[in-house]
Structure 1
Amino acid sequence: MSAQLKVMLGNHPHTRPLKDGTVPVPGVDCQYPESTPLPPAFARMVRDLAYDICEMPMATYLQALDAGIPVTLLPVVLVGSTHHRSLTRLPEGPEIGPADLAGHRVGVRAYGQTTGLWVRGWLQEEYGVKSSDVTWVTTEDVHVAQYVNPPNVERSKAERVADLLRSHDVSAAVLGPKAIGGQGAGLVPLVADAEQAGQAWIERHGTIPANHLLVVRDDVLRDSPDAVRAVYRALAQAIADTAGERDDSPAGRAVTAGWSLRLTACVEIAAQYAREQGLIGQGVDVAAIERKTAFLDS
């Protein structure tokens, strides 16, 4: 009898082969529910454990781990890129730079948004502006219900982050990859040479920032390890089969399956940033996570 798993995946070129059956998952009857938009599914996973396996933003995973939510990271990067272009301003506004943001208000979808995690990381690392130096104005709550925002985070009634800029409530705004080409159309990055700065970050750290990875419920990992491994291997195969559909940009190179020095570094850096920003309170033992999931490639 086949194991049955509810697997929540976004619609990406490398997840399509699983969803349409081109790449089968031997011995597993996979259900692929849809969520449009995708982010509410992340909240359902960390609040209600609604799925067996779920695509998960890096920051949400780190906060879930910190809160003791029983999910385990699987070594798959589904979405990633550099984020120096994600910090934006109005083109007709003051030509404010990243180093000028201390004491200013900056819009972000949620304080726990992964793009914001990476932006605040390089903002401190490269410009000396700490997360606590800025008032972060949000339009949504974080996914992990147990988390309480720090005092320098305000909730706005605005529906979209770009609206905060256009109403002049903030000096700059953090926009995720999809929002840059949508609600953020016409906005300009605070970093003039954003692509070069992102590449320099990659060279300095030896990794590419991951936005979305994959998690599994701990009880599913414990009770159905073969089924979890079958899903993981099928997804790894789909990622390999669709390599030709991705370019050589950071976003294209970010999509990977399997533990590597690059992925380990990515999780470690994200955890360091998250702790510096008050998103998590404890360090993360990445080696322990690797040991727990090493059987996937055995």
Structure 2
Amino acid sequence: MSTPLKVMLGNHPHTRQLKNGTVPVDGADCQYPEASPLPPAFARMVRDLAYDICEMPLATYLQARDAGIPLTLLPAVLVGSTHHRSLTRLPEGPELSPGDLVGRRVGVRAYGQTTGLWVRGWLQEEYGVKSSDVTWVTTEDVHVAQYVNPPYVQRSKAERVADLLRSHDVSAAVLGPKAIGGQGAGLVPLVADAENAGLAWIERHGTVPANHLMVVRDDILRTRPDAVLAVYRALKKAIADTADERDDSPAGRAVTAGWSDQLTKCLEIGGRYALEQGLVTEPVDVAAIERKTTFLDR
């Protein structure tokens, strides 16, 4: 009997269906280890190849690929949304426009955090603020050990990004979706109409920013392609089966499975942003990424 696949997934409606057996993985035996919080599992995957298949933030995957870590992207978006609301400030502080951040300090969990990737992308695109125009103050290291932060990134001893704001160490802070409702409660976005600004970004680019996708170890894809296909097909079914649990918001529309124009555009834009921000050293070849897993959708 084959060794069970270790599949590390967060708890989303579409992934819980695999974990609880509602959607069986026909043709593969899977184990689903738990990690709470989830981000340390991402570091274990890119540093130690700790799992066979793993949920993975887009920026972490791009950095891992750039570093030559043997992982392959699977075409399934597990989490995504727009991020104009993710750049926040204290409500009682002075009003700031995103364009006012040049020369200021901004908090972010890690420079390689995917939310930060998307925020810095639209900051440059819409306000002309380059990554190097800001000092990025972090509370954690990037997941990919080989990566060295640029000189305009500083590490803080603070445990939480919101604490940087409340101690007035930074002028603004980048918070992911969960943090906005948690440690970021009460903070306000710098973009006055963040929701419509995010929708305008989607209209302009024809895609929704992806935060978490999935990766598989190259050796597992090479030696057990049928098992990988079984996991992918089960996840694709679970995403389809839970469609009525998602609304028409960007977060609802982001969750998809399969190669599509939306996913290709997302990777192209994310790859361009990553290169502009110094997260990767070479342009991202999205066509090469896609070629490795086109067999999944045949």
Aligned twin of 1:12: 12
State how far apart, in whole Å, the 1-side matches of 2:138 and 2:108 are: 5
Aligned twin of 1:130: 130
State how far apart, in whole Å, the 1-side matches of 2:239 and 2:145 are: 32
Kindly provide the amino acid, as one letter, of the partner of residue 283 in structure 1: P
Q: Deviations over 1:56-109 (max 9, x none)?
A: 000000000000000000000000000000000000001011000000000000
Aligned twin of 1:23: 23
Q: Deviations over 1:165-193 (max 9, x none)?
A: 00000000000000000000000000000
Kindly provide the amino acid, as one letter, of the partner of residue 45 in structure 1: M
Aligned twin of 2:100: 100
SS at match of 2:292: helix
State the TM-score, normalizing by the size of structure 1.
0.99
SS at match of 1:212: strand
User: Are the aligned partners of 1:80 and 1:210 in contact in 2 as well (CA < 8 Å)?
Assistant: yes
Aligned twin of 1:203: 203
1:113 is aligned to 2:113? yes
Kindly provide the amino acid, as one letter, of the partner of residue 267 in structure 1: L
Of 287-296 and 158-167, deviating more is 287-296
Percent identity between matched residues is 85
Kindly provide the amino acid, as one letter, of the partner of residue 278 in structure 2: G
What displacement does 1:2 show?
4.8
What displacement does 1:278 show?
0.4
Aligned twin of 2:181: 181
Uncovered stretches (5+) of structure 1, i.e. residues with no partner? none
Aligned twin of 1:139: 139
Kindly provide the amino acid, as one letter, of the partner of residue 126 in structure 1: E
SS at match of 2:110: coil
Aligned twin of 2:155: 155
SS at match of 1:116: helix
After the TM superposition, list the runs of 4 or more consecutive aligned residues in structure 1 that deviate by more than 6 angstroms.
none
SS at match of 1:28: coil
State how far apart, in whole Å, the 2-side matches of 1:212 and 1:289 are: 16
Aligned twin of 2:294: 294
Q: How many residues align?
A: 298
SS at match of 2:157: coil
State how far apart, in whole Å, the 2-side matches of 1:248 and 1:89 are: 28
What displacement does 1:54 show?
0.2
1:68 is aligned to 2:68? yes
What displacement does 1:290 show?
1.2
User: Are the aligned partners of 1:2 and 1:27 in contact in 2 as well (CA < 8 Å)?
Assistant: no
Kindly provide the amino acid, as one letter, of the partner of residue 104 in structure 1: R
Map 1:160-171; keep pairs closer than 5 Å: 160-171=160-171
Kindly provide the amino acid, as one letter, of the partner of residue 45 in structure 2: M
SS at match of 2:220: helix
What displacement does 1:10 show?
0.2
SS at match of 1:202: helix
What displacement does 1:3 show?
5.4
What displacement does 1:268 show?
0.7
Kindly provide the amino acid, as one letter, of the partner of residue 41 in structure 1: A
SS at match of 1:41: helix
State how far apart, in whole Å, the 2-side matches of 1:175 and 1:208 are: 18
State how far apart, in whole Å, the 2-side matches of 1:246 and 1:3 are: 34
State how far apart, in whole Å, the 1-side matches of 2:47 and 2:292 are: 23
User: Are the aligned partners of 1:3 and 1:227 in contact in 2 as well (CA < 8 Å)?
Assistant: no
What displacement does 1:289 show?
1.5
Kindly provide the amino acid, as one letter, of the partner of residue 108 in structure 1: V
Aligned twin of 1:47: 47
State how far apart, in whole Å, the 2-side matches of 1:170 and 1:297 are: 46
Aligned twin of 1:232: 232
SS at match of 1:173: strand
